[in-house]
Amino acid sequence: MNIGVISGDGIGPEVVREAKKVLDACSEKYGFEINYTDIMMGGCSIDKYGVPLTDEAIEAAKKSDAVLMGSIGGNTATSPWYKLPADKRPEAGLLKIRKALNLFANLRPSVLYNELKDACPLRKETADKGFDMIIMRELTGGLYFGERYTKEINGVNTAVDTLTYSEEEIRRAAKKAFEIASKRRKKVTSVDKANVLDSSRLWRRITEEVARDYPDVTLEHMLVDNAAMQLVKDPAQFDVIFTENMFGDILSDEAAQITGSIGMLSSASLNDTKFGLYEPSGGSAPDIAGKNIANPIATILSAAMMLKFTFDMDDVASRIEDAVKQVLKEGYRTVDIMSEGMKQVSTGEMGSLIADRV
């Protein structure tokens, strides 16, 4: 396996280190070889090269079978990176690599583990039902990639951001959503704002066309404001949520929070080959960087997703997922998911415990 590694900024290097520890344990147990290639992106790349992502870094990523990433960026209020023009900030590198690698499908599982129900901020009767959903977000179109500018019009400063989707962009993402749902509980909830936006009306029409090719999968439509409410009212109703770029960005963070900690949630960004970029859903958390207290589980579960989606090693991926559940069942917790009666451990200790269970 040729795996590119973007450790990134903040807690990124710490959590990536633990994911590699678990992958190496799998490599030893199951007899496969891993070659890691370090790739620089984000604030660390700005410091060294003046840009968040170099062309050489993109080429290194393209030569890899998959990329495992930590987190990039810093504190937007204090970091000097955010005084730079928008195209020179850390997140510009993230948008650039998604476009360069054609990573149009972002998968974010949101699962409430039985052992962590006490950390869920929802009402007890809601948390007791549990939930297990995937948010499938289109990643390379929409408002984030449309034309944008700020200029004076009739003497007034005016900002314009353009939301654009083609039917093919929608279709390829919808197919991915239905493929995933067909292997799960066979339900897709397509989230849009079709009562207002032309782009959402096209989104709805193309999604319905794709649905005809998956007769065993149920399709429902939901407006994004209602979806935001339903996520906190009854998250158990969802299987695969399929939505556009900005809506998915917002809803996936909401779905992350109701699990109790964003440090538990993995993600995968895929193209139309087996290649994928795998990263935790959370940010770089610069306030706790270097303290060895960050939760590495999201990054470890992202590595499990990599084994599943890129390398078709479902059994090994399940081994990692089971190891995570076992460690939680044994009462080990990082500080973000700590509760009374549990055993608090560091970032490194959590990674070692999971690697040992593998």
Q: Which of 192, 239, 249, 336 is catalytic?
A: 249
Distance from chain centroid for Cα 177: 15
Bridge pairing between strands 105-111 and 266-270: antiparallel
Is 287 catalytic? The answer is: no
Is 151 catalytic? The answer is: no
HSE of 311, CA atoms in CB hemisphere, 13 A: 24
Q: Which of 24, 65, 132, 253 is catalytic?
A: 253
Is 225 catalytic? The answer is: yes
Q: Which of 117, 187, 193, 325 is catalytic?
A: 193
Q: Which of 24, 82, 144, 186 is catalytic?
A: 144
Tokens of 225: 């404001």
Is 193 catalytic? The answer is: yes
Q: Which of 225, 234, 322, 356 is catalytic?
A: 225
Contacts of 268 (CB under 8 A, 6+ apart): 106, 107, 276, 277, 278, 302, 305, 306, 309
**Residues that are catalytic:** 144, 193, 225, 249, 253
